[in-house]
Amino acid sequence: MTLVAVHQMRSRIDPFVNLECVISGIEQASIEGATSYFAPEMSLLLDRDRNRAAVHMSYEADNKWMPILQKTAARYGIWSHIGSIPVLHDDASGRLANRTYIIDPLGRIAARYDKMHLFDVDLATGESWRESNVYRGGDAPMLADFRPIGIMGLSICYDIRFPDLYSYYARRNAHILAVPAAFTVPTGEAHWHVLLRARAIESEAFVIAAAQCGLHEDGRRTYGHSLVVDPWGEVLLDMGDEEGVGFAELDIGRLAEVRSQIPVHANRQTIETG
């Protein structure tokens, strides 16, 4: 068994307030004996006001937050999945990348992933989002050696609606899928649980989805309900709509047990598309 910590946050417009919250979450995870910590999408900054947020943007090499988080992970000796943070894209276009970071217990960046699918939608509630106006989507999936559990397929929020990404991870024997998110309330109520359970079932992998929750300083509302789902689709943790750090025990042997009952990996066929 391995214990994982999931941090459900209501991130503010001040990244240093959020940074202290993440540091506290990593410390709490370590004290409780967790081998790993998971934060939500945009853990260090959630602000739809582009001008106000712009003063905090930098290239990864100049980022003020990551060295602090790397030292924190090393101090507590814990694997840390920092959900995602916005950084200036390396292509010098002026657009941002919504980037996941995984930090190992020695404080080294073990993996990065840029959100591939951008949330450009007009909801019936009147909410309208155009991530592509500010962000550039990532170019490729990313598998990480997440040693407390195994091979991890990385994704962020809106990616969950695109099964080809998770099929890619399943074909490469991912043991766990990470889905940090800031889901809207209407889409969360309709689709959050069913999509995450479906990805766990079809991939026969654990899913860990740390989420944002509640009414934020920039006026948006997010759904919460951070989830941990096992390879059979059983929900091991549902954090509802309140901030905090939750815990779930993962039985790694469950992977082999489920895969032996329904061998989708052995039965999978290659489907050619024109």
Interatomic CA distance for residues 247 and 146, integer angstroms: 18
Return the active site residues.
41, 115, 157
**Cβ neighbours, 10 Å, residue 32:** 11
Interatomic CA distance for residues 274 and 257, integer angstroms: 36
Q: 66, 60, 57, 77: which is closest to 19 by C-alpha?
A: 66
Radius of gyration of the chain (CA): 18
Q: Sign of the C-alpha dihedral, residues 189, 236, 164, 48?
A: positive
